Amino acid sequence: MDLGLNGKVVLISGSYRGTGAGTAKVMAQEGAIVAVHGHQEGQAAAVAEEIRVDGGQALEVHGNLLTTDGVESLVSAVEQECGPVDVLVNNYGAPAKTNWADPAELWHEAWETNVVSGVRLTQRVLPSMKARGWGRIIFLGTVGTERPGKENPDYYSSKAALPVTVRSLAKDLRGTGVTANLVSPGIIATDEVREMLERRASRQNIEGWEEVQRWAIENMTPNLTGRIPEPHDIGRYVAFLASEAAWHITGADFKADGGSIDT
C-alpha cells in the first residue's frame, strides 16, 4: 500500500537512537525527507548518514527541546533545508529514575521532558500545517501508564497525560486536515533493552536472542504475541498513522503492546 509519504517532510524528536531512529529509517524507506534530531550538534549524524547510504533522504538537526529558542532554531533549520514540516513525531521522552522518596520538585523535569517538549514543537509547526490543510502530529507514549510500578512515578504520570493532550489537540484541529494521535508501545527491543535482558538472562545460563526473548516474555514482560518488537516495528505503526490512508484517524491512543496490558 502506498502510504503517500513520498516527499513529505518528517521531523522526529530524539531520533538519534532507539525507537526514534527506527522510525526515521522506516519513514525514509517510504520516501519521506526525514529530519533526524539530536540534542547536541553531531549527535544524530550517524543515523542520518545511515539513511542516506541506504538511499533515503535525511537531514541531521539539533536543538534543545526544553526551551522555546531551542525549538525555534531546530524547526527553522528544517524549514530552511527541506521546507515546512508535514509530519511531527514527538518521540522524545525519558524516565528520571525517581521514586516516592525523591523531592516532588523533581517531577517538574518529567513533565517538561515528556509533555511540554512535544507541546512546544507542536505549537511551532501547527500554523503551517493548518495553512496548507494537511499535517500529522504523533506523540509516543507507553502502555506502562496503565500498569505502572512503584519506580519512576514522575515518568509514568507525565506520560499518562498524553492521551488527554492528544484528544484535546485533535478537537482543536477539527476540520483542518491535521490529525493528532498517540502510539503507546510496550517493551521495545532497543539496544539498551536487549543488553539489559541478555545480561539478566545470562544469570540463568540463557544465551541467544531468541531464547532470551522467550525467557523475558515468560518471566518479565508477558504479552500475547510471544515476541518483543524492534524499533522499526513501532516505526511502521507510526508511519501508517502519518499516512494519507489514516486521514480519518485522530484523537486516538493506539496500543502497540502485543496485548500485554491484558495478560
What DSSP string describes the chain? ---S-TT-EEEETTTTSHHHHHHHHHHHHTT-EEEEEESSTTTTHHHHHHHHHTT-EEEEEE--TTSHHHHHHHHHHHHHHH-S-SEEEE---------TTS-GGGHHHHHIIIIIHHHHHHHHHHHHHHHHT-EEEEEE--GGGTS--SS-HHHHHHHTTHHHHHHHHHHHTTTSSEEEEEEEE-----HHHHHHHHHHHHTTT--SHHHHHHHHHHHTS--SSS----HHHHHHHHHHHHSGGGTT--S-EEEESTTGGG-
Report CA Rg, the chain. Answer: 18
Burial code (b: 16+ CB inside 10 Å, e: under 16) for 243-253 equals beebeebbbbb
Question: What's the CA gap between 78 and 11, in Å, rounded?
Answer: 8
**By C-alpha distance, which of 42, 38, 60 is closest to 51?**
60
- Residue 241 identity (one-letter amino acid): L
Is 69 exposed, middle or buried (CB count within 10 Å of its CB: 0-12, 13-18, 19+)? exposed
What pLDDT shows up at residue 263? 65
pLDDT tens track of the chain, all 263 residues? 899 999 999 999 999 999 999 999 999 999 999 999 999 999 999 999 999 999 999 999 999 999 999 999 999 999 999 999 999 999 999 987 888 999 888 889 999 999 999 999 999 999 999 999 999 999 999 998 888 888 899 999 999 999 999 999 999 999 999 999 999 999 999 999 999 999 999 999 999 999 999 999 999 889 999 999 999 999 999 999 999 999 999 999 999 999 987 66
Question: What's the CA gap between 226 and 228, in Å, rounded?
Answer: 7
Residue with cell 478537537: 171
**By C-alpha distance, which of 72, 91, 27 is closest to 54?**
27
What pLDDT shows up at residue 69? 97
Question: What's the CA gap between 139 and 183, in Å, rounded?
Answer: 6
What pLDDT shows up at residue 96? 78
CA distances from 254 to 97, 139, 143, 153, 180 (A): 26, 10, 10, 22, 12
Q: What angle (nearest 5°) sits at the alpha carbon of residue 138, between those of residues 249 and 62? A: 160
